Amino acid sequence: MDFSLYFPIWDKLTPEEQQYLSQNIIFRKATKGTVIHDGNISCTGLLLVGSGQLRSYMLSEDGRELTLYRLFEHDMCLFSAACMMTSLQFEVIIEAEKDTELWIILPSAYKKLMESSVTVANYTCELMATRFSEIIWLLEQILWKSFDKRLSAFLLEESRLENSSILKITHETIGNHLGNPREVVTRMLRYFQNEGSVKLSRGTIEILDPTKLQQLAE
């Protein structure tokens, strides 16, 4: 895989900046379930996804998870290199949701580029603003949107990502994404099943009526 085809502003860098960046990246393959960044103990570096899918989430003191955002092909994550920005205290965990190929940009090298290149600095600010906007949107969903609406939207999004109406996902995993206990997810899914929207079986959820779920999500 060619890093230059995936880094969003590669063509805007000078040849010297391109060479420097190329010398400070690490290519890595991560199997599904691998924790790539643990916010409590590591300053991994910036992550650039070549293929696959990553999940960024926060972990509460009592062990509950909440998905903040997902990363797909061409996406880059700054929060895995928060150590290079002393004013940013934002601990997240990043794991591979699918087998993933990615690059890790060394934080010291990227910080040097950010300080010397207006292009890199502007891009970094835009990327940070985008990620914080996603998190603010998530908070608004949690605060103002009922759980049935959030769950409906999640199921439809999963169906779109997997390109299938049959989702191989557990109730606990859904709870980890949405920040709710498994029991709450199970009760709501059973309600959806009684309404004819989904069919539940061990380890799978089949979407029977996406229109009804869409109407509820909206």
Query: Architecture of 3-142 per CATH?
Result: Sandwich (2.60)
Report DSSP state, residue 217. Answer: H
pLDDT at 87: 58
CA nearest neighbour of 72 among 95, 46, 99, 54: 54
β-partners of residue 37 are 94
CA nearest neighbour of 90 among 118, 68, 117: 68
Domain extents in the chain: 3-142, 145-217
Q: Render pLDDT for 28-71 as a digit per residue (tens, 0 to 9).
A: 999 999 999 987 656 788 999 999 999 999 888 888 889 999 99
CA nearest neighbour of 95 among 65, 144, 60, 57: 57
Match 């999963």 to its residue by tokens. 158
pLDDT at 194: 95
The mean predicted confidence, pLDDT, of the chain is 90
pLDDT at 171: 95
Question: DSSP assignment of 108-177, as one string?
Answer: HHHHHHHHH-HHHHHHHHHHHHHHHHHHHHHHHHHHHS-HHHHHHHHHHHHHHHHTSSEE---HHHHHHH
Least confident of 61-70, 171-180, 203-212: 61-70
**Alpha carbon 7 to its chain's center:** 18
- Provide the CATH number for the domain formed by 145-217 in this structure: 1.10.10.10
Give the containing element (helix H, strand E) for 40.
none
pLDDT at 144: 87
Q: Render pLDDT for 2-34 as a digit per residue (tens, 0 to 9).
A: 999 999 999 999 999 999 999 999 999 999 999
Question: DSSP assignment of 73-84, as one string?
Answer: TT-EESGGGGGG
For the chain, the distance separating the N- and C-terminal CA atoms, rounded to the nearest angstrom, is: 40
Q: Render pLDDT for 96-135 as a digit per residue (tens, 0 to 9).
A: 999 999 999 998 999 999 999 999 999 999 988 888 888 8
What backbone phi and psi angles, to 5 degrees, belong to 28? -140, 145
